Amino acid sequence: MESEAICTGEFARLLFGLKTKGGTADSAATEDLLRYGHYRGWLEDQDERQPQASLNRQTAARITHEFMRIELQIPDLADITPATKLKDLYTCRVCANHIAQIYTRGIMGAEKNEEPELPDSSYLFFNHLKLITKDEAYKIIANYEDCFGSASQ
């Protein structure tokens, strides 16, 4: 059984928990966190205004990458060559670097093409608009911790 989709606000809270060694639980604290994230630049206006919106893969990549860059001051990788295997990397040109950085670090993976009408079933896709489930969100957080160890400073 697949778990339910996670919302943007809940994902931001989980991600921020990496820095603070635990998340905030009440809605007032979450609202403050969303305002803080927007002020710092790792959340966008839409994330703060619609925290209950379902989270898709490209938004998760953007939030995760910007959090990593801004809050943890982890520089971007210069070589993102592994991400060029993703056939849909440039579907959203604004999102391309976010996706490439997160994919290359192994924080989020790709999906193989399962469509028999396409000639090569070995194509990898990021699948930008697919919704993130709570299980997938926890996996992203675990991969993040594996990649960077303790994120708190």
Query: How far is it, in rounded angstroms, from Cα 87 to Cα 143?
Result: 23
Position 3 scores a pLDDT of 79
pLDDT in tens, 126-139: 999 999 999 999 99
Phi, psi of 50 (to 5 degrees): -130, 65
Number of structural domains in the chain: 1
In a domain? residue 14: yes
Domain that holds residue 127: 8-148
Position 51 scores a pLDDT of 95
In a domain? residue 153: no
Position 45 scores a pLDDT of 96
In a domain? residue 2: no
Query: How far is it, in rounded angstroms, from Cα 99 to Cα 132?
Result: 14
Position 119 scores a pLDDT of 62
pLDDT in tens, 59-71: 999 999 999 999 9
Query: How far is it, in rounded angstroms, from Cα 70 to Cα 12?
Result: 14
pLDDT in tens, 89-125: 999 999 999 999 999 999 999 988 766 666 665 689 9
